[in-house]
Structure 1
Amino acid sequence: QVVLEDELQASDGKIFPVITYMGKSRGISYLNYQFDLNEISQAELFDLSLFQILLGMVKTEHYSYPDLTNAILSRTGGISSSLVYNQNKKYFNIRTKVLENQIEQGIDLIEEILLRSDFLNSKDRVYQLLYMIFSRFQMSLADNGMDIAKKRLASYFNDQGMFNEVTSGIIFYQNLKQLLQTWDQVGDDFIEKLQNMSNRIFKQNYFSLFYAGENDLYEKVKTPLLHSLETFPFSEKLVPAEIWNFDLINKKEAFIIPAEIQYNLSGYNLKNLISDWKFDGRIHVLRQILNTDYLWSQVRVRGGAYGAGFSIERNGNLFCSSYRDPQCNKTFQAYKNIPAYLRNLNIDSEEWTSYIIGTFAALDQPLSFPAEARRARIWYDQNIDSEQLQNERNQALNATLEDIKSFADMIEKALEPEYYCSLGSENKLKQDQALFKDLKVLE
């Protein structure tokens, strides 16, 4: 299955880009509205992140919040939103799934939320929601430490990592805490910012659609969608898109949280080392070997961690991580010893075959239709086609022991700058404080 490009033409001649992923969706249409963030400045990313979270959680022109919630639950399979940022795109995404007889109702509800949410008359509710968001983040520190530490670490060396950190990581959490503490002074201005953001994002000029479902249902989406889009504002003269320039620094931090275990992460972006670096299918095999042998034995079995992992993402981010780990310094030392392990690696044919089987078992996991569609959308954004994917599979299948050993130098160079981030207990982090440039309490 591949993503196909299409377009919708309005009666006034306006063209709206569409990409589709067709398949057997059991009568369900998956609608993803995407709006480019051209008018949002880098300084507004925190406000944008809260706007995205709060949208759909306040009353609108025609619905109280309880009535809006009931309408969403009874007429759709849910409405949710997210922010997307990578080297190619930055956009606001709002999505829903609807049955054939609910298509118009789902489209009408999204229009109501995007164009007629009433933040100005919802100040008290917004404050309550912000406090709830803050409390949930605070309570998640011990259980969600891996995700929090990973965002923080990636913000040291990758623009996408810094975007995620500002919009949903520790920086977001600290800014939210500051907003709540100064609410009496800044609350009114913040509410106005939320209200004005709709007018700057949800324009016809910035709209595109990702549709996943069946061909006949797609045809039934077109007319009500075009009718709805006519109500969205259109700008004859657009503001030039601002370029976001993130300041990336190796802060090498540790954060004390209310827990007796650690989340220890080290990593780097390989494109900072190798300008023409590209993802290689042999990385799948490398990851399988490190995760099921070296890190399992060194960090989980000997170190006592609940889990450990090695990954290299398509954007070049390399991560070594431990989960609910009683250690700190010993774990970082285990990461540093990965190159030596690879150089001395010796695997017989039977063991090698088991690694290849495990690699493809992970690659070929069955997916539901919506999961397939989401993956296809990500690959489309990253300009990954079926030929590239097949080439990577061939690389993994034909990988040799010498290929895996050859990754040692690259990993050694990536880990050499010691990009570290840990979340964990006060006693252990203070004991190993020499590893870090800064030790802070996260509260």
Structure 2
Amino acid sequence: MPIDYTQPLETLARGSRHAGFTVTDQIPLREISGYAYVMRHDATGARLLWLACADDDRSFSIAFKTPPADSTGTFHILEHSVLCGSDRFPVKEPFVNLLKTSMQTFLNALTFSDKTMYPVASTNVADLENLMDVYLDAVLHPAIYRRRRIFEQEGWHLELVGEDGRPAAPADADARLALNGVVLNEMKGALSDPDAVVENGLDAALFPESPYRFESGGDPREIPTLTYEAFLDNHARHYDLANSYTVLYGDLDIERELAFIGERFDGACRRGAGAPNPLPLQPPVVAAPRTVEMATAPENAQVALAYVVGTAADRERVLAADVLVDALAGSNEAPLKRAVLDAGLGDDLEAVLVTGELQPRVVLALKGARPHVAEKFRELVEATCARLAREGIGRERLEASLAQAEFNLREGDTGDCPDGVVHSIRVMASWLYDDARPVDYLRYEDAIAHLKEGVAEGAFERLLDEVVCRSAHSAQVELVPCEGGADDEEAAELARRRESLSDAELARIAEEVSALREEQEAPDSPEALATLPQLSLADIGPARERPACPIVEAPAPCIAHELDTRGIDYVYHYFDLDGIGFEELPYAAVLADVLGKLDTAEHTAAEFDTLSERRLGDLAYFVEAYDDHADPTRFSAHFVVAASALSENVGWLAKLPAETWSETDYAGSLDRIRDILQQRRVAMEQTFTNAGHAVALSRLDSYFSPSAAFVEKVGGVDYYLFLKRLLANFDELGGYLADRLLDVARRVFSRGNLTVSFVGPAADRARFWEAAGSLGLSDAPRGHYLEVPAPKPANEAFVTPSNVAFVALGAPRRASDAGGWGTWQVAARALSFDYLWNEVRVKGGAYGVGFRRTQAGLREFWSYRDPSVDATLERYARAADWLAAWQPSEAELEGYVISVVAAIDAPLKPRQLARRQDADLFCHRPDGWRIEMRDQVLHATPDAVRALAPSLADVAESGAVCVFGSREKIEASKADLCVHDLMEAVPSAGPFGDDAHEDGCRCGHGDGCCDGDCCHDHDGGER
């Protein structure tokens, strides 16, 4: 019989003892329909918390308080390194083995500014215990004490390389010294982001006497100063059970799990190495303004202000600050953000509340800052805040922001991350700093109710006055773009060091690297692999049943998803884009960017923003494409308007979206449109730097796939270049743009184009259609204009302000391709987590790497934060040979099969399930398609996987390359790449037409010039 977790369990009464743990508290948690049980391990003092609820996506996490004492990244390197083998599991990469063989729904490790966490999740109890077993041995008994090479691999080491980045011999006159290491390269990529540099500057200013002044991930300039001995000392002092926090979540046999954990806690090493680093409270300080220089594009200039809100113990105050930030700057029409945009000091104002630390803070960042505006920005912010504190923020605005906060907390939509993992992280926002506060950041209902009462009493104005106007703890940092940078300094320093080394010292470096490579290449013994716990195929249950989603009778075709959404309704309006010409697609993308943010016939932009926040949970617009299941050269394209609301507000789901698509005033909103598009440009530039692998894969797809060419047209590189050209000539082209948007909107938002998907109970769906009426749709006739030019392969590289590269290689589907989709998924798993992981990540130093074979048949490799280009391409080229020779053990193959099936069967939230089913409909996938693919996976054999090798053999020779990243990495490459600098200014245009040719070369010429016969303007969009 199911347990009622909303009632306290008598067996876990305060003071009761269980497998060496004593229960110290029981706390009801309405927010998760359950209880929190707080415990201590008697022998070690380890803290444990069980969040008991009915969720079968169960999770475990163990965390350690790890405030850094410098910026060498020791705790980040430890996070990686402890997962490279342990006493009971002496394999080189147990973390990867688990990825390959587990039914996990989450498996990772996370370094924060003051803690390190190791969370896992699974719907299978035996699998969860396997994950717990490996993770507990990893953190308590890691192999780092007997395998120094782990530190060199994951942290840093010296190498000798040639100009192209390949290994070189000491006798080679061109051999130069280089630094390599997974964390080193990860942080070079991370600190290529101006936001990260500004954040570090603010932390250093705000917390001059606190560990928060250090970069916990590691500064690439300081990482090479970390010694192996200091690395081990930090583990010994911090990975102690007295310094640990364990969180269990979900529907568990708690006696069994406590016994399981207690046995491992009892066997933990007592190293007695000394106390962990302290985490003191920083006394208030008003820091002097700071300027930091960074080698980045001029558009990345920033000014940021930070104001400390209080401490983590002030839960309601922190929640109030979150609401306040949204009310002041959560949209372009919020009063503080509007004041900054109207002042023309920069392209965007980004406001965030930084939580999960001892002293939460509000950060206000001016993006795309104009030169010499730092003081003007601070004066404007503080004067505007003073006026709002004095005159009032506006009751409607505050109530809308409160409603939005309450909706988000109630919905609890954590995307692909299981609820238990998110809750484990939130727990640490208070528990890490006060043993008496384990669940402060899971609770919100009482605080929200109290904050609602405070709106009329001026509580938010008082908070604004205290936090900003009379702040005793604040900082200001200006980021100024410059030439050169850390990479240049590092290269010069290494060159000097190279000159000072004797031949014997150079030979010693080469010997050390050789020894590292030998260890990396040595296979794990069968005996070591046999120690790892693994599920069998018998542990896989039947496929999850998915409820039907019929198309029901309504004023428009309506897909009905009658799912348990816990009082929240979702609606997706899919408008067919077949009536929009290919060259017009960027205007559909602009339409998606601006709708919901402009004046309408009924409301000003500010009024609409407040109304939508008050009545809706979300309102979003995007463009996407769906490949035809039977013929991937065909696809359907849609403009999607997505909205959500509490059940009592279902009528607004019909009214508010319709108001935007039928009554928006484009001609009267040109200044706002310019602001929005500038912000979109800035966001895309951040994506190029931080997620270059995703952008490179999207661009690569467009060389072969019509639907991907469409996607590039509405959101990829070409759309970015379209935006830059439009913004550079906006004064001249604004009126033309408004006319085009009005015309495109009239043709897109037509009654004959619409299919609606409604997620929620039938009664709510009926009320939605009752309120919908005509939905304000036009009667424009349907036409067929969307013809995508034939894609053309290219070899391209895009220079971005980054210190690393993202390298993609791919080829189109071949008529002779062997194997079904399910078999390819097993092959992709093996390639990604065996061959590529060892070659590109472990040996090459890239932070991430993988292979995928898409449903359209594209075969693609990618790397993430990669220190090289050519060496990675060479490793891709050898993948076919590796696959042809693949000889997995029975257990290894079974593990891959289990992990792929687990991904297919992963639990989905109602919204996610509905979107998947909508995609199946638009792709014309037959009933039972996923079951068929799942069966293919379950019946995959080594012979069937090896038979795919010939389909990989031609990728390197006949495929295409797309690289994003550092100019230095790209120019060092000998690949024949057409190079583009995405940060260069676009030329001024004359009359703005759709036949412009500046949108991106497709010629594949290495000299960077376009022959004029390229397939241009393939801008992308949101999937």
Alpha-carbon distance in structure 2 between the residues aligned to 1:315 and 1:385: 16
Of residues 601, 620, 624, the one that matches 1:80 is 620
- 1:277 Cα offset (Å): 8.1
Alpha-carbon distance in structure 1 between the residues aligned to 2:636 and 2:686: 32
Number of the residue aligned with 1:192 = 739
Higher helix share: 1
Number of the residue aligned with 1:12 = none
Query: Does residue 301 in structure 1 map to residue 812 in structure 2?
Result: no
Alpha-carbon distance in structure 1 between the residues aligned to 2:596 and 2:933: 41
The answer to whether the 8 Å contact 2:569/2:645 transfers is yes
Number of the residue aligned with 1:409 = 950
Alpha-carbon distance in structure 2 between the residues aligned to 1:165 and 1:415: 23
Number of the residue aligned with 2:798 = 255
- The one-letter code sitting in structure 2 at the alignment partner of 1:258 is P
Deviations 1:158-211 (A, max 9, x none): 111111111111111111111111122212111221122221211112122111
Number of the residue aligned with 1:233 = 778
Alpha-carbon distance in structure 2 between the residues aligned to 1:140 and 1:388: 33
Of residues 546, 550, 555, the one that matches 1:4 is 550
The answer to whether the 8 Å contact 2:806/2:963 transfers is yes
Of residues 972, 977, 983, the one that matches 1:431 is 972
Larger radius of gyration: 2
The answer to whether the 8 Å contact 1:254/1:436 transfers is no
- The one-letter code sitting in structure 1 at the alignment partner of 2:801 is P
Of residues 569, 573, 589, the one that matches 1:29 is 569
Deviations 1:263-287 (A, max 9, x none): 00011221xx228988521122112
Alpha-carbon distance in structure 2 between the residues aligned to 1:278 and 1:37: 34
Of residues 899, 911, 915, the one that matches 1:358 is 899
Alpha-carbon distance in structure 1 between the residues aligned to 2:816 and 2:949: 18
Query: Does residue 264 in structure 1 map to residue 807 in structure 2?
Result: yes
What is the TM-score with the length of structure 2 in the denominator? 0.41
Of residues 694, 697, 703, the one that matches 1:150 is 697
Query: Does residue 245 in structure 1 map to residue 245 in structure 2?
Result: no
The percentage of counterpart residues that share the same residue type is 25
Deviations 1:293-313 (A, max 9, x none): 111101110110000011112
Query: Does residue 333 in structure 1 map to residue 879 in structure 2?
Result: no
Deviations 1:326-385 (A, max 9, x none): 011111111111110011111112222222222222222221111111111112222224
Number of the residue aligned with 1:113 = 660
Alpha-carbon distance in structure 2 between the residues aligned to 1:34 and 1:338: 40
Number of the residue aligned with 1:40 = 580
- 1:437 Cα offset (Å): 3.5
Alpha-carbon distance in structure 1 between the residues aligned to 2:698 and 2:979: 17
Mapping for residues 161-240 of structure 1, pairs under 5 Å: 161-225=708-772, 227-229=773-775, 231-235=776-780, 238=781, 240=783
The answer to whether the 8 Å contact 1:420/1:436 transfers is no
What is the TM-score with the length of structure 1 in the denominator? 0.93
Alpha-carbon distance in structure 1 between the residues aligned to 2:891 and 2:695: 39
The answer to whether the 8 Å contact 1:255/1:441 transfers is yes
Gaps of 5+ in 2: 1-546, 627-633, 984-1023
Per mean C-alpha deviation after superposition, the further-off stretch among 300-309 and 141-150 is: 141-150
- The one-letter code sitting in structure 2 at the alignment partner of 1:3 is C
The answer to whether the 8 Å contact 1:31/1:96 transfers is yes
Query: Does residue 442 in structure 1 map to residue 989 in structure 2?
Result: no
Number of the residue aligned with 2:314 = none
Alpha-carbon distance in structure 1 between the residues aligned to 2:820 and 2:671: 48
Q: SS in structure 1 opposite 2:953?
A: helix
- The one-letter code sitting in structure 1 at the alignment partner of 2:701 is A
- 1:386 Cα offset (Å): 4.1
Alpha-carbon distance in structure 2 between the residues aligned to 1:7 and 1:431: 61
Alpha-carbon distance in structure 1 between the residues aligned to 2:636 and 2:553: 19
Query: Does residue 140 in structure 1 map to residue 680 in structure 2?
Result: no
CA RMSD after TM alignment? 1.8
Query: Does residue 343 in structure 1 map to residue 884 in structure 2?
Result: yes
Number of the residue aligned with 1:103 = 650
- Residue 277 and residue 351 in structure 1: after superposition, are their counterparts in 2 closer, same or farther (change >3 A)? closer
Deviations 1:57-90 (A, max 9, x none): 1111111112211111110111101112233422
- 1:422 Cα offset (Å): 0.4
Q: SS in structure 2 opposite 1:141?
A: helix
Alpha-carbon distance in structure 2 between the residues aligned to 1:219 and 1:120: 36
The answer to whether the 8 Å contact 1:279/1:314 transfers is no
- The one-letter code sitting in structure 2 at the alignment partner of 1:254 is A
Q: SS in structure 2 opposite 1:373?
A: helix
- The one-letter code sitting in structure 1 at the alignment partner of 2:779 is F
Q: SS in structure 2 opposite 1:234?
A: coil
Alpha-carbon distance in structure 1 between the residues aligned to 2:978 and 2:756: 44
Per mean C-alpha deviation after superposition, the further-off stretch among 417-426 and 244-253 is: 244-253
- Residue 278 and residue 101 in structure 1: after superposition, are their counterparts in 2 closer, same or farther (change >3 A)? farther
- 1:321 Cα offset (Å): 0.3
- 1:425 Cα offset (Å): 1.2
- 1:134 Cα offset (Å): 1.5
The answer to whether the 8 Å contact 1:3/1:380 transfers is no
- 1:215 Cα offset (Å): 2.3
Alpha-carbon distance in structure 2 between the residues aligned to 1:351 and 1:38: 47
Q: SS in structure 2 opposite 1:265?
A: strand
- 1:413 Cα offset (Å): 3.1
Say how many residue pairs are matched: 430
- Residue 136 and residue 280 in structure 1: after superposition, are their counterparts in 2 closer, same or farther (change >3 A)? closer
Alpha-carbon distance in structure 1 between the residues aligned to 2:835 and 2:671: 53
Q: SS in structure 1 opposite 2:952?
A: helix
- 1:317 Cα offset (Å): 2.4
Number of the residue aligned with 2:822 = 281
Of residues 603, 610, 625, the one that matches 1:63 is 603
Alpha-carbon distance in structure 1 between the residues aligned to 2:653 and 2:838: 51
- The one-letter code sitting in structure 2 at the alignment partner of 1:26 is R
Alpha-carbon distance in structure 1 between the residues aligned to 2:833 and 2:799: 30
